[in-house]
Amino acid sequence: MKEGRRIKTLNPYFSIIPYIMVERSDSQNTINDSFDVSGAENLIHRLRNEGFDSIGILHIILAAYVRALSQRPGVNRFVRGQKIYARNGIEINMAMKRKMRLNAPDTTVKMKFLPTDTLVDVYHKFNKLFLETVEGETGSNSTDSVARIINYIPGLVKKFVIWLLKTLDYFGLLPKAIIEASPFHGSMFITSMASLNIPPIRHHLYNFGNVPVFIAFGAKRPELVLNVDGTVTKRRVVDFVANLDERICDGYYYASALKLFKKYLTSPDELMEPPAEVVEDIR
């Protein structure tokens, strides 16, 4: 398998579930949460003074997710052909506009990370890809190129081509070049509503491909918190919505991974150093 290895020691329950909930849209659960951004803002302020001029909340969210996967690799699994696989790497997809205008074209980037990556590693990898994709001379990437080729195909033939791609994907026979370009294959898809200054949306999972998690996060907003002593504290938070494929792991495991994710978001200084240990998924 190009993207991962089949897990053979799963509980029988999880081996059967993909045959019952065949489509990803059948098996998605949603959770809404928020995190206090004070720790992130302090770190961002410090790093900008050290020369990381464009670092922001998005970099911290990406780094926190990469770190959570390094400790809870079960969330990095995927379903293909009613079988569950452990993904070989960490790939995060993101859609973005080339310019913040209504009619500006969209594009998608696929970011590849290592489980040992720090916040600084994530910062450099994301910024390099962003500059190449959004501000590069060609103005396109492999995703745009594949979409452009398919778009040239006449409608009826195009329908057959998409069916063929889905069939090949089911059996794990998609060409590597298409998987590399596909925004529907990866560890997670993330979208930012912060630049639009709106709350996060609840985004569906795609039936095509194998992305098991979709996270949307919104703009910073003020929140009043009632303390145990009766006093009220004002803080700034970011809301996020996570849509999850429940077939890849159980609720307890998901909860543990999300708690870790939130911990790294609220205490991002831990992301400045590599993890002490990278946990391997079960065989």
Q: Would you call 242 helix, strand, or coil by DSSP? A: strand
Instruction: Report yes or no on 281 lying in a domain.
Output: no
Count the domains in the chain.
1
Cα–Cα distance for residue pair 267/245, rounded to 1 Å? 27
- pLDDT tens digits for range 132-169: 877 655 555 777 777 778 877 888 899 999 999 999 99
Question: What is the percentage of the chain residues whose pLDDT exceeds 70?
Answer: 94
Residue 105, pLDDT > 70, answer: no
Q: Phi first, then psi: what are they for 165, rounded to 5°?
A: -60, -40
Instruction: Report yes or no on 282 lying in a domain.
Output: no
Average pLDDT over residues 32-39: 97
Q: What is the pLDDT of residue 246?
A: 96
Instruction: Report yes or no on 283 lying in a domain.
Output: no
What's the pLDDT band for 99 if we cut at 50, 70, 90?
Answer: low
Instruction: Report yes or no on 277 lying in a domain.
Output: no
Instruction: Report yes or no on 78 lying in a domain.
Output: yes
Instruction: Report yes or no on 154 lying in a domain.
Output: yes
User: Is 236 in contact with 222 (CB distance < 8 Å)?
Assistant: yes
Cα–Cα distance for residue pair 199/34, rounded to 1 Å? 11
Instruction: Report yes or no on 279 lying in a domain.
Output: no
User: Is 257 in contact with 75 (CB distance < 8 Å)?
Assistant: yes
Residue 95, pLDDT > 90, answer: no
Q: What is the DSSP letter of 263?
A: H
What's the domain range around 252? 4-272
**Residue 99 has which token pair?**
């310019």
CATH number of residue 50's parent domain: 3.30.559.10
Instruction: Report yes or no on 202 lying in a domain.
Output: yes
